[in-house]
C-alpha cells in the first residue's frame, strides 16, 4: 500500500567532459529525499593527481578488448526534498548536470536551473535492478544484525533467488524477486519512514529525520507503550508466550488523563515510534515471506540508513514473529537501490549492456549478455558507504 | 504482540436477591476500559411490573424439566478505567455487587468498597467462549459492512469452525478458533485501540475516545497522508495496481517544514490515525487468515464499537489486501466478548454446564453436555446492543 520513489533521469545522460573525465548522474526523488548516484573518474572533484590520471590511462590500455577504460567511483549523496536548492547547487557546483539528473515534481526547476529534461523510470524495476546489482556484484553487501553484532552474509550469486526485498522509504514496498527483471510487488505498508518522521515531527518538533533517530537511542519506550506486564501485574502471559516486556499497545500509556504531550520526553516518544514502525514492518515482511516461501528477506531503503537500533528492532521483530525461523538481512547501500537501479538501467540503454564483476573474486558475473562493462569493487575503508569503486569499459 | 484484557470475577458470584430477582455480574478490565456484563431478571432496575413478574412465574412452570426458570436480560455497560469510581458507584447503586464483579489492579478498591474478592480468568479462553456463544446462540450477531451497508451473515453453527477472531482492544489479538475451548493465539499487533487513542490524545488533545472517533468522520486524511498520487503527479501507479488515492505513507505529509502540529485540524489527524490503524489490522489479519487457511475473519473488541467508518476501513483493507477474496465480519456485541466469556465460564462452573438456544429458531444448540440452561434471544429493537434477552433454567 505504499511506495515512495519516483525515479527520473535526464534524457541527455552520459557526458564525457574531456578525454579523461567521465560523468554520469542519476537523481532519485522519494517522498522526502532526493538521492544522487553519480559516477566520475578520478578528477578534480574526486582525486585529481597525475598518478591517478596516469593510472586511468594505463588501465585503459589493459582493457581485455582494448577499448578505452575509465576508472572511478560511483558516488552516493542525499538531500531532503525541502532542500532542493542545495541539491541543485551541489549538482551545479560539481558540474554533474553536464552528465545528467532527474526528479519529478522539480522537473521545471531542473529545466530552469540546469537545462536538463527528465525521463521517468519504473520504480520497482529500478529497486530490483539496484538490489540484484549490489547483491551479485558487491563484496560484503548483505549482512545480518543482531545484538549489536554485524555479520556479513555469503551470498552465492547462483543461489540468490527468490528473495523478498523490503524497501523502506517514506512508505514500504515488499517485492518478491525471482531473477533479473523478474519480480512482483506483493505487498507493502503505509507505515514507513514517512510515518516515523511525520508523526515524530508533530510529536517532538524535531527538525530532522536523523536527529529524531538519534534521539531514540536515549529513549525508553516503556514510558509510553503499554506492556504485557502493565496489564498482567508485572508478570508474563506465559500461556501464550508473551513476556512482561512485550509491547501490548504502542502508545497505549498515552491514554492517561494525567499527562499531556509536553509531559513526555521527545526521546521516549521517538523510541516508541521507532519500535512501533520497525516491529510492524518486520511482522508484515515475515508474513509475506512465509506466504511465498521466501527464505531470505533483505531490508533496504533510507529509513534504515545503517541505524543500529532500527536494524536491531527489525531483526528482533522478524525473529519474534518467525519464532527464530527467519532472519533479517540488510544492505550496505540500502538507501540507493532505486537510484542505482535507474543508473544501471540507463547505462544498459546507452551502452547496450553491462557486465558487473566482483573484482576481489576475479571472476565475472554476467548481468547482461553483451556490450560494455563496469567492474566494481568495494572501497569500504576510505569511503564508507558513500562510494563504490568501479571500472568502466567504454564504447 | 498484544492483548489487553484481564478478566477477573468475584468468587462469590451468583446471588438470588429474592425468589423472583436473580443477579449476576462480571467485570472485565481492559487496558483502558472496564466492561460489565450482568444478568438480571425483570425487576426494579429493568422492568418491574406485575405482568412481567407473573410472566416469569408462569414461564418457570413451563420448564422442560420442571425446574424454576428465570427470564431476564444480559446487560452490557462500560466505563473508562480512569472512571473506576463511577463504575463502583454504578455497581453499588444497582446492587450488582451482591451478585459479583471483577477487575485486576482495582482488586483492593473492589474489596474495600464492595466487599468482594476477585478471581482471575484466562483472557483468550474468555474471548473465545464469548465469541462462540454469540456466534452460535444469538440471531443476527455477525454481519458484514461495506459502503455503508450492513448485511447480516447466516452462520450455520455446524459450519462455524475454523475461524480467525481478531479482538481489537488497546492492542490486538488474533486467535485461530477450531472449536469450543479449542483455539490458539496465532498473532496480534501492538497497533490497536490504545495506539489510536494514545496518539490521538497527544496529537489532538481530545479527552475521550468516542470524541476522537467522532472527529474522524469530518476529517480528510489526504491533508496528512502522502498518497500515491502525491508522488506520481496525481496519477495511479497502474503497473502495480495502486490508485492515486492509495495511502503511500501514513502521516507522510507531516514531514513538511511549513506546518506544525497546531496547523493541522484535529479531525484530519484523527482520520489519518484511524485509517492507518484500521488498514494495518486488516492487512495483518488477512495475512494470518491466509496463513492458516481460515475463510472467516470476525473482528471484535471495543475499538470498533459499531463505528461505521472503522468497520468500513477494516472491510476495505481486508478486501484490498485479499484482492476481494476475503471479507471482514463484525459482531454486534463486539466489545463484550471477554466479559461474556468469563461470565459464561463462571456460569459453567457454578451451574455445571449451560445450554444456549436460539429462541427464534426454537431448536436447542448444546454448548455443553449437561446441566442447566440459558436460552437467549436478541431483543434488538428495544435494547440495541446493550442487552440480550435470556431465559435461565436454574438448579
| pLDDT value of position B281 | 97
Interacting residues of B141 by C-beta distance below 8 A, sequence separation 6+: B134, B135, B155, B331, B332, B333, B378
Dump pLDDT digits (tens) for A127-170.
898 899 889 888 888 999 988 889 999 888 899 999 999 999 88
Identify all chain A residues contacting B261, using CB atoms and an 8 Å cutoff. Answer: 202-203, 205
Residues B213 and B310: beta-carbon distance below 8 Å? yes
How far away is chain B from the Cα of A346, in angstroms, using its nearest Cα? 20
Give, in order, the Cα–Cα distances in Å from A376 to each of A42, A133, A394, B26, B238: 15, 10, 14, 69, 35
From the list A31, A201, A283, the residue facing B284 with the nearest CB is A283
Question: Does residue B174 sit in the same domain as residue B307?
Answer: yes
| Residue (of B241, B244, B250) closest to B278 by Cα position | B250
Phi-psi region of A21 (alpha: psi -120 to 50; beta: other; left: phi over 0): beta
Q: Which domain holds residue B102?
A: 13-124+335-394
What's phi and psi for A43, nearest 5 deg?
Answer: -145, -160
| Position A250 in a domain | no
Identify all chain B residues contacting A168, using CB atoms and an 8 Å cutoff. Answer: none
Say if the Cβ atoms of B190 and A249 lie within 8 Å: yes
Say if the Cβ atoms of A199 and B224 lie within 8 Å: no
Domain boundary (A289, A308, A331) is at: A331
How far away is chain A from the Cα of B263, in angstroms, using its nearest Cα? 10
Question: Does residue A76 sit in the same domain as residue A35?
Answer: yes
| Chains A–B, number of C-beta pairs less than 8 Å apart | 243
- Give the residue on B whose Cα is nearest the Cα of A121: B232
Structural domain total, chain B: 2
What's phi and psi for B26, nearest 5 deg?
Answer: -130, 130
- Bridge partners (DSSP) of residue A6 are A29
How far away is chain A from the Cα of B168, in angstroms, using its nearest Cα? 10
**Cα torsion for B107, B112, B117, B122, to the nearest 10°?**
-20
Burial status of residue A45 (CB atoms within 10 A of its CB: 0-12, 13-18, 19 or more): middle
Q: What does the alpha-carbon distance between residue A64 and residue A270 come to, in Å, rounded to a whole number?
A: 54
| Position A366 in a domain | yes
| Position B255 in a domain | no
Q: Which ipTM value was assigned to this complex?
A: 0.72
Question: Does residue B27 sit in the same domain as residue B89?
Answer: yes
Say if the Cβ atoms of B190 and A284 lie within 8 Å: no
DSSP string for B46-76 = S---HHHHHHHHHHHTT-TT---EEEEEEEE
Question: Does residue B72 sit in the same domain as residue B150?
Answer: no
How far away is chain B from the Cα of A314, in angstroms, using its nearest Cα? 14
pTM of the model: 0.73
Question: Does residue B315 sit in the same domain as residue B348?
Answer: no
Identify all chain B residues contacting A248, using CB atoms and an 8 Å cutoff. Answer: 1-4, 31, 170-171, 190, 194
Identify all chain A residues contacting B290, using CB atoms and an 8 Å cutoff. Answer: 291
Identify all chain B residues contacting A252, using CB atoms and an 8 Å cutoff. Answer: 4, 31-32, 170-171, 190, 192, 194-195, 198
For CA atoms B336, B339, B343, B344, the dihedral sign is positive
Question: Does residue B106 sit in the same domain as residue B176?
Answer: no
| pLDDT value of position A387 | 59
pLDDT surpasses 60 at A288: yes
Dump pLDDT digits (tens) for A80-95.
777 777 777 777 666 5
| Position B313 in a domain | yes
What's phi and psi for B9, nearest 5 deg?
Answer: -140, 160
Phi-psi region of B74 (alpha: psi -120 to 50; beta: other; left: phi over 0): beta
Q: Are strands B172-179 and B163-168 parallel, antiparallel or unpaired?
A: antiparallel
- Give the residue on B whose Cα is nearest the Cα of A287: B287
| pLDDT value of position B48 | 38
Gyration radius of chain B over CA positions: 22
| Position B244 in a domain | no
Domain boundary (A283, A298, A331) is at: A331
| Position B321 in a domain | yes
Say if the Cβ atoms of A170 and B124 lie within 8 Å: no
CB atoms < 10 A from the CB of A348, how many?
Answer: 16
Domain boundary (B331, B356, B385) is at: B331
Dump pLDDT digits (tens) for A163-220.
999 999 889 999 999 998 899 999 999 999 999 999 999 999 898 888 999 899 899 9
Kindly report the three-state secondary structure assignment for every residue of B103-133.
CCCCHHHHHHHHCCCEEECCHHHHHHHHHHH
Task: Kindly state the average pLDDT of the residues A212-240.
Answer: 83
Say if the Cβ atoms of A1 and B242 lie within 8 Å: yes
Q: Are strands A33-41 and A22-30 parallel, antiparallel or unpaired?
A: antiparallel
| Position A237 in a domain | no
| pLDDT value of position A100 | 38
| Position A280 in a domain | yes
For CA atoms A108, A109, A114, A118, the dihedral sign is negative
Per the model's pLDDT, the better-predicted residue between A9 and A332 turns out to be: A332
Residues B25 and B99: beta-carbon distance below 8 Å? yes
Quick one: what percent of chain B has pLDDT higher than 70?
A: 58
Residues A30 and A2: beta-carbon distance below 8 Å? no
Could you tell me the CATH number of the domain that includes residue A162?
3.30.420.40
Question: Does residue A60 sit in the same domain as residue A112?
Answer: yes
Which residue spans within A11-161 are E strands per DSSP? 15-16, 22-30, 33-41, 69-80, 118-120, 142-146, 149-152
Say if the Cβ atoms of A249 and B192 lie within 8 Å: yes
How far away is chain B from the Cα of A195, in angstroms, using its nearest Cα? 5
Dump pLDDT digits (tens) for B232-249.
666 667 676 777 888 999
| pLDDT value of position B68 | 39
Per the model's pLDDT, the better-predicted residue between A282 and B375 turns out to be: A282
Mean pLDDT for chain A overall: 71
Question: Does residue B306 sit in the same domain as residue B350?
Answer: no
Dump pLDDT digits (tens) for A14-37.
222 333 344 456 656 555 667 676
Quick one: how many helices (H) and strands (E) in chain B?
11, 19
DSSP string for B328-383 = EEEETTGGGHHHHHHHHHHHHHHHT--EEEEGGGTEEEESSSSS-EEEEEE-HHHH
What's phi and psi for B291, nearest 5 deg?
Answer: -60, -40
Question: Does residue B110 sit in the same domain as residue B70?
Answer: yes
Say if the Cβ atoms of B31 and A248 lie within 8 Å: yes
Which residue spans within chain A are E strands per DSSP? 5-10, 15-16, 22-30, 33-41, 69-80, 118-120, 142-146, 149-152, 163-168, 172-179, 182-189, 226-227, 247-249, 296-300, 328-331, 356-358, 363-365, 373-378, 387-393
Residues A130 and A336: beta-carbon distance below 8 Å? yes
pLDDT surpasses 50 at A107: yes
Question: Does residue B164 sit in the same domain as residue B192?
Answer: yes
Question: Does residue A218 sit in the same domain as residue A181?
Answer: yes
Taking 70 as the pLDDT cut, the residues of chain B under it are 1-33, 35, 37-76, 92-121, 232-236, 238, 240, 345-395
How far away is chain B from the Cα of A222, in angstroms, using its nearest Cα? 13
Quick one: what percent of chain A has pLDDT higher than 70?
A: 58
| Residue (of A24, A49, A18, A27) closest to A38 by Cα position | A24
Identify all chain B residues contacting A237, using CB atoms and an 8 Å cutoff. Answer: 3, 123
DSSP string for A207-271 = S-HHHHHHHHHH--GGGTSEEHHHHTTT--BGGGTB-TTSEEETTGGGG-TT--GGGS-HHHHHH
Question: Does residue B307 sit in the same domain as residue B342?
Answer: no
The cell numbers describing B159, all together, are: 459450519
Amino acid at each position: 500500500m505504499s511506495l515512495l520513489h519516483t525515479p527520473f533521469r535526464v534524457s541527455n545522460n552520459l557526458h564525457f567532459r574531456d578525454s579523461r573525465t567521465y560523468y554520469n548522474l542519476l537523481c532519485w526523488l522519494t517522498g522526502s529525499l532526493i538521492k544522487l548516484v553519480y559516477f566520475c573518474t578520478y578528477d578534480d572533484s574526486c582525486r585529481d593527481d597525475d598518478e591517478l590520471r596516469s593510472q586511468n590511462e594505463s588501465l585503459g590500455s589493459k582493457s581485455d578488448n582494448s577499448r578505452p577504460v575509465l576508472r572511478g567511483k560511483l558516488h552516493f549523496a542525499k538531500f531532503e526534498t525541502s532542500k532542493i536548492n542545495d541539491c541543485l547547487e551541489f549538482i551545479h557546483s560539481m558540474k554533474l548536470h553536464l552528465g545528467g539528473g532527474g526528479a519529478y515534481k522539480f522537473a521545471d526547476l531542473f529545466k530552469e536551473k540546469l537545462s536538463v529534461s527528465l525521463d521517468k523510470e519504473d520504480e520497482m524495476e529500478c529497486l530490483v535492478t539496484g538490489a540484484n546489482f549490489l547483491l551479485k556484484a558487491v563484496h560484503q553487501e548483505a549482512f545480518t544484525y543482531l545484538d549489536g553484532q554485524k555479520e556479513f552474509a555469503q551470498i552465492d550469486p547462483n543461489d540468490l533467488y527468490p528473495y523478498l526485498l523490503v524497501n523502506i522509504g517514506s512508505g514500504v514496498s515488499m517485492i518478491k524477486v525471482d531473477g533479473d527483471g523478474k519480480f512482483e510487488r506483493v505487498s507493502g505498508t503505509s507505515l514507513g519512514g514517512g510515518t516515523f518522521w511525520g508523526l515524530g515531527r508533530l510529536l517532538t518538533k524535531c527538525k530532522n529525520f536523523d536527529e529524531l533517530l538519534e534521539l531514540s537511542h536515549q529513549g525508553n519506550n516503556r514510558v509510553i507503550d503499554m506492556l504485557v506486564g502493565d496489564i498482567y501485574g508485572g508478570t508474563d502471559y506465559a500461556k501464550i508466550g508473551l513476556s512482561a516486556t512485550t509491547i501490548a499497545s504502542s502508545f497505549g500509556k498515552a491514554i492517561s488523563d494525567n499527562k499531556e504531550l509536553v509531559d513526555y520526553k521527545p526521546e521516549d516518544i521517538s523510541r516508541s515510534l521507532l519500535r512501533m514502525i520497525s516491529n510492524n514492518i518486520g511482522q508484515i515482511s515475515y508474513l509475506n515471506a512465509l506466504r511465498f516461501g521466501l527464505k531470505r528477506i533483505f531490508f533496504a531503503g533510507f529509513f534504515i540508513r545503517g541505524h543500529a537500533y532500527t536494524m536491531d528492532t527489525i531483526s528482533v521483530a522478524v525473529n519474534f514473529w518467525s519464532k527464530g525461523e527467519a532472519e533479517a538481512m540488510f544492505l550496505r547501500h540500502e538507501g540507493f537501490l532505486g537510484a542505482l537501479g535507474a543508473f544501471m538501467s540507463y547505462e544498459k540503454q546507452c551502452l547496450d549492456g553491462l557486465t558487473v564483476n566482483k573484482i576481489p573474486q576475479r571472476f565475472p558475473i554476467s548481468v547482461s549478455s553483451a556490450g560494455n562493462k563496469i567492474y566494481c569493487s568495494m572501497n569500504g575503508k576510505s569511503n564508507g558507504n558513500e562510494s563504490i569503486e568501479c571500472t568502466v569499459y567504454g564504447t
